[in-house]
Amino acid sequence: MTAAAAAGRLVTMARGRGRPGCLILPGAGGGLTPYLRLASELGRTHSVDFVRPSGLVPGEEPESTVADMAESVLGMVEAAVPRLVIGWSLGGLVAWEVCAGLAEDGHRPDLVIIDSSPLPRVPEPGEDEWLRSRMVSDLGPAADAETVGRMERTFAAQAAALTHYATESRYPGRLLLLVCSPYDEGGREAAVRRWRELAPDLELVRLDAGHYDVFEPAHLPRLAQAVHAFRNQDGR
């Protein structure tokens, strides 16, 4: 993908002169809507950008590995490194690899990972079909067959990337790990143990929200509070 095409995937959600940059990396599917409320809240203190996954518009091919996804994002932010990087689910893994890459060049943005596992994903029976159906429904009744097809191909590549992902990357910067409920299901305890091995400066917060409803209005205050408290710890 050309640099111009990659840059076209960077969507500004909030802008404020002189404010530190925040980058949001979405979960599988990559729709913008679930993150609008969080971006609005963070926009009070940050300039907020969102990265749209490759494959959702004509002429693009989906990226098939987390490493490829992270490489694209690194190219987008090399001219203006964000001070805060946030990723949910698949986006949390991309965020991790992006921050690990930035650390190699001396940058250590604050990193927030929301309910992501550094271990290979083992989907529940029927989970991928349920997710695919949900994503198609979110496109609305007017979506044409080509749009649906691009979304389905992108999701298939993302699901495969999750299944084959396991990281050895380490990040020396600050990490806020937000873990959804129930804590003792879905491999969350094993994921937290592995994150602790990889991140020496990790803060863990448990959220009273499920993986797929963490961005709903009822849970937004707690989510935003946790992020703001994390950022304010060192006065930045």
For the segment 225-229, the average pLDDT, to the nearest whole number, is 95
> What DSSP element (H or E) covers 32?
none
* CA dihedral sign of residues 199, 205, 206, 211: negative
pLDDT of residue 133: 87
Q: Tens digits of per-residue pLDDT, 160-197?
A: 999 999 999 999 999 999 999 999 887 999 999 999 99
More confident residue, 124 or 200: 200
* Residue keyed to tokens 């029927």: 126
pLDDT of residue 5: 52
> What DSSP element (H or E) covers 191?
helix 188-198
1 pLDDT higher than 70: no
Q: What is the pTM of this model?
A: 0.93
pLDDT of residue 173: 97
125 pLDDT higher than 80: no
The domain limits of the chain are: 3-232
Tell me whether residue 161 is exposed, middle or buried, using C-beta atoms within 10 angstroms of its C-beta: 0 to 12, 13 to 18, 19 or more.
buried
Structurally, at CATH architecture level, domain 3-232 sits in: 3-Layer(aba) Sandwich (3.40)
CA–CA separation, 231 and 102 (whole Å): 18
For the segment 70-85, the average pLDDT, to the nearest whole number, is 95
pLDDT classification of 2: cutoffs 50, 70, 90: very low
> Comparing 1-10, 45-54, 191-200, which segment has the lowest mean pLDDT?
1-10
For the segment 95-115, the average pLDDT, to the nearest whole number, is 97
pLDDT of residue 138: 79
pLDDT of residue 127: 81
pLDDT exceeding 90 applies to what percent of the chain?
77
102 pLDDT higher than 50: yes
CA–CA separation, 18 and 46 (whole Å): 9
